[in-house]
Copies of this chain bind each other. A is one copy, B any other.
Amino acid sequence: MNGRIEPRSGTAFELNAGDELVVIDPMGGQVADLLAVTRGDVREMLSSGRTLDYAERIYLTTGDRLYSNRSNVMLEIVHDDVGRHDFLLTPCSEATFRLCYENEPPHRGCHGNLAAALAPYGIEDDAIPVAFNCFMNVPVDGQTGWFKVLPPLSKAGDTIRFRAAIDLIIGLTACSAPASNGGSFKPIDWRIVRAAEV
């Protein structure tokens, strides 16, 4: 099972425990915001604050586990071509455009795209937290705390691969914010490898 997320849009689909999700940057330099929600109780979802606390690192890669707000493992990163992703910032939204891009026409952004894709599962707009922003390149100056949103380090065809620890609903976008993808808007591809095929 696979698909393409057209530029500045999003989708949602289900993973079963043991399935693997491959997120592919087909052209290079694009960001995909990923949100995971527990199937069966959508109040349990991805938590940046829990995950970073347990990892003791802000940059995550192969071997790292992504935790829920209830401190359960949701996903494990099992392969990573790029090694630089963001887990500090919320998905871009209409407000992001209003506050950060005064010369850009407003767009509902990854937040709006995730909200629309996840609404059929009963997930509320207000509940959407910091997403795991695949390929997003946000280097932090540890001395001053300032960070920059730079173009991703991903090249065409680069992937990051996750294994689901539990049954999940996944929301995934092709990012809509100019800064996070170097001013270009490109698609994101994805592929599910079912547990029986792993």
Which of A's residues lie within 8 Å of B, judged by CB?
43-44, 47-50, 52-54, 56-59, 69-71, 88-90, 93, 95-96, 98-100, 124, 126-130, 139-148
- Report whether over half of chain A's contact residues are helix, strand or loop; otherwise say mixed: loop
> For the complex formed by this chain, how many copies does it contain in all?
2
Within the complex, the shortest CB–CB distance from A13 to chain B, in Å, comes to: 23
State the CA gap A44–B127 with chains docked (Å).
9
**A131 to chain B: closest residue by CB:** B49
A88: which of B49, B70, B90, B126 is its contact (CB, 8 Å)? B49
**A41 to chain B: closest residue by CB:** B126
| B47-A90 in contact (CB<8A) | yes
Within the complex, the shortest CB–CB distance from A39 to chain B, in Å, comes to: 15
Residues on B with C-beta less than 8 A from A130 are 48-49, 130
Residues on B with C-beta less than 8 A from A44 are 126
Residues on B with C-beta less than 8 A from A127 are 43, 127
State the CA gap A129–B129 with chains docked (Å).
8
